[in-house]
Amino acid sequence: GENVEQHPSTLSVQEGDSAVIKCTYSDSASNYFPWYKQELGKGPQLIIDIRSNVGEKKDQRIAVTLNKTAKHFSLHITETQPEDSAVYFCAAKATGTASKLTFGTGTRLQVTL
């Protein structure tokens, strides 16, 4: 089955700096890669996703890049703000009714003033 590795497990950046979280996946059939943000006491919330026919997607201060050949994808947050502090999860999924979303182990991002 699919295996998703996520790094780093913790990340501390100063407000205004950029943050990058990286994930690798094992199943070459995976073609959907969402990112979730989990704030304290809440469930994960989808913030951005990318499909394998696209190399990069951007939404304001967040962007995701995908390298299918190397089987890795990354989340980039620019101009970080204190409200970006949260746990971020990457995930991967292949098409097909039997496939499921496999999550990485999470990255705790701390944005300091």
| Residue 38 Cα to chain centre, angstroms | 11
Distances (CA, A) of 84 to 90, 106, 111: 16, 14, 7
Q: Does 105 bind another protein (CB under 8 A)?
A: yes
Q: With contacts defined by CB under 8 A, how many residues of the chain interact with another protein?
A: 25
Dig out the tokens for 81 from the structure.
Answer: 């703000």
Say whether residue 98 binds another protein (CB under 8 A).
yes
Q: Report the residue from 62, 84, 104, 111 that binds another protein according to the rule CB under 8 A.
A: 104
Asked whether the beta carbons of 92 and 25 are under 8 A apart, the reply is: yes
Specify the stretch interacting with another protein by CB under 8 A; choose among 11-19, 54-62, 77-85, 102-110.
102-110
Q: Quick check: 22 binds another protein (CB under 8 A)?
A: no
Q: Site for another protein (CB under 8 A): which residue of 25, 62, 80, 89?
A: 89
Strand partners, 69: none
| Beta carbons within 8 Å of 98's beta carbon, 6+ residues apart | none
Determine, following the binding rule CB under 8 A, whether residue 58 of this chain makes contact with another protein.
no
